[in-house]
């Protein structure tokens, strides 16, 4: 029913069913709209969804995805993986595939920098690859960077280093030993990744780029749920050297870990959005999550959809319509409940709605009102 409603709202679909002949008629209408709109089609979709700005997680931006309507958030997991990945890449068939894609992406980043291989030392890698890549991404319009690390490994990037000189020295030795060849042990590679994550986050903070983490449930039958708990990030979020970096818990621990997110929002540089939950759980369940977060730190809560491409019949615009409706309805239910229980006035409810739907994100990314 939700996708029928989306077809009606977006394309004036006149039917209450999805019979093949009716869907063929819909597809003809879709093609006509896309041809008429051309490169403006993505903006046309956002207009119909009532969305001012979409954050686009992409390797590169495509046709029609232009600011200020579409803002780029590139993936930077590849920067965590400068060595041979054999010891960490074969946990599951999915991870084997994901690591192969990250290797390709790192190759692309190196080529963009005029490099054919990673530098010989960790110091050079941080300066000539990590810093240079993030600077280039910002120059090209990136407003944040994204880690899908939970698809590759646990989000436990280790405790706050007690002896930074020793930790940095060990990471440098591991890197130098294997940068030109050989396979690091799993433990050594994880230690290096933990160091690199902090180096990337520190550089992102210097550049004013928030760091996004996928948290909570993920796709694929091999996804390791326990490794996606946002509480595993405490060693990063509690690192004093990273307090100038802003972190966003994307999906807010969707599904299993949303209560952890409520508490993590107490940290001054941590935010969360409720994307993915807009299609993963019912609107009623999502309203409970949103209310819990708003009762803790309303200035840290942000609307999100997690819309994505799918089939020609039910594509990103239909999924965007469904997730947008679910998110807004859940927010309304949460605020209405808070009013009925005497926690807030109607005026405060409207203020909280504006904050969650717009103002919190605008402030975080520096866009103004």
Full DSSP string of 268-293: TTEEEE--SHHHHS-HHHHHHHHHHH
pLDDT value of residue 305 = 96
* Alpha-carbon torsion (106, 108, 112, 117), positive or negative: positive
Domains of the chain (ranges plus CATH)? 71-365 (3.20.20.140)
Inter-CA distances, 189 with 53, 100, 146, 237, 292, Å: 38, 16, 21, 21, 38
Q: Where are the beta strands (DSSP E) in the chain?
A: 54-57, 70-73, 145-147, 211-216, 247-254, 270-273, 301-302
pLDDT value of residue 369 = 55
Considering only CA atoms, which of 81, 136, 73 is closest in space to residue 106? 81
pLDDT value of residue 60 = 93
For 67-124, how does the pLDDT look when each residue is reduced to its tens digit (9 = 90+)?
999 999 999 999 999 999 999 999 999 999 999 999 999 999 999 999 999 999 999 9
For 182-226, how does the pLDDT look when each residue is reduced to its tens digit (9 = 90+)?
999 999 999 999 999 999 999 999 999 999 999 999 999 999 999
Measured in residues, the chain has a length of: 369
pLDDT value of residue 1 = 87
Place of tokens 């433990």: 187
Cα 366 to the center of its chain, rounded Å? 18
Residues in the chain with pLDDT < 50?
none
pTM for the complete prediction?
0.96
């Amino acid at each position: 029913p939700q996708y029928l409603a989306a077809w009606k709202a977006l394309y004036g679909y006149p039917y209450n069913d999805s019979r093949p002949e009716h869907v063929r008629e819909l597809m003809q209408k879709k093609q006509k709209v896309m041809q008429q709109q051309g490169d403006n089609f993505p903006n046309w979709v956002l207009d119909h969804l009532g969305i001012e700005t979409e954050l686009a997680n992409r390797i590169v931006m495509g046709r029609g995805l232009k600011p200020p309507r579409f803002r780029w958030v590139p993936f930077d997991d590849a920067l965590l993986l400068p060595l041979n990945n054999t010891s960490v890449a074969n946990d599951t068939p999915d991870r084997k595939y994901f690591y192969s894609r990250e290797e390709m992406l790192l190759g692309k980043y190196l080529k963009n920098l005029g490099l054919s291989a990673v530098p010989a030392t960790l110091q050079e890698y941080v300066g000539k690859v990590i810093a240079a890549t993030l600077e280039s991404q910002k120059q090209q319009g990136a407003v944040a960077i994204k880690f899908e690390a939970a698809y590759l490994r646990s989000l436990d990037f280790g405790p706050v280093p007690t002896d930074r000189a020793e930790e940095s020295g060990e990471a440098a030795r591991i890197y130098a030993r294997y940068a030109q060849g050989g396979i690091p042990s799993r433990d050594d590679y994880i230690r290096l990744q933990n160091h690199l994550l902090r180096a990337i986050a520190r550089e992102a903070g210097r550049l004013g780029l928030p760091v996004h983490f996928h948290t909570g449930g993920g796709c694929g039958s091999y996804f390791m749920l326990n490794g996606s708990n946002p509480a595993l990030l405490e060693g990063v979020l509690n690192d004093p050297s990273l307090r100038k970096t802003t972190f966003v818990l994307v999906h807010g621990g969707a599904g299993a870990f949303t209560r952890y997110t409520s508490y993590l929002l107490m940290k001054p540089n941590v935010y969360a959005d409720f994307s993915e939950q807009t299609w993963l759980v019912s609107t009623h369940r999502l309203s409970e999550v949103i209310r819990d977060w708003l009762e803790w730190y309303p200035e840290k809560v942000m609307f999100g959809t997690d819309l994505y491409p799918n089939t020609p019949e039910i594509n990103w615009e239909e999924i965007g319509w469904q997730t947008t409706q679910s998110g807004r309805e859940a927010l309304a239910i949460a605020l209405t409940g808070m009013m009925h229980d005497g926690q807030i006035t109607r005026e405060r409810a409207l203020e909280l709605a504006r904050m969650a739907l717009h103002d919190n994100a605008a402030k975080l990314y520096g866009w103004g009102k």
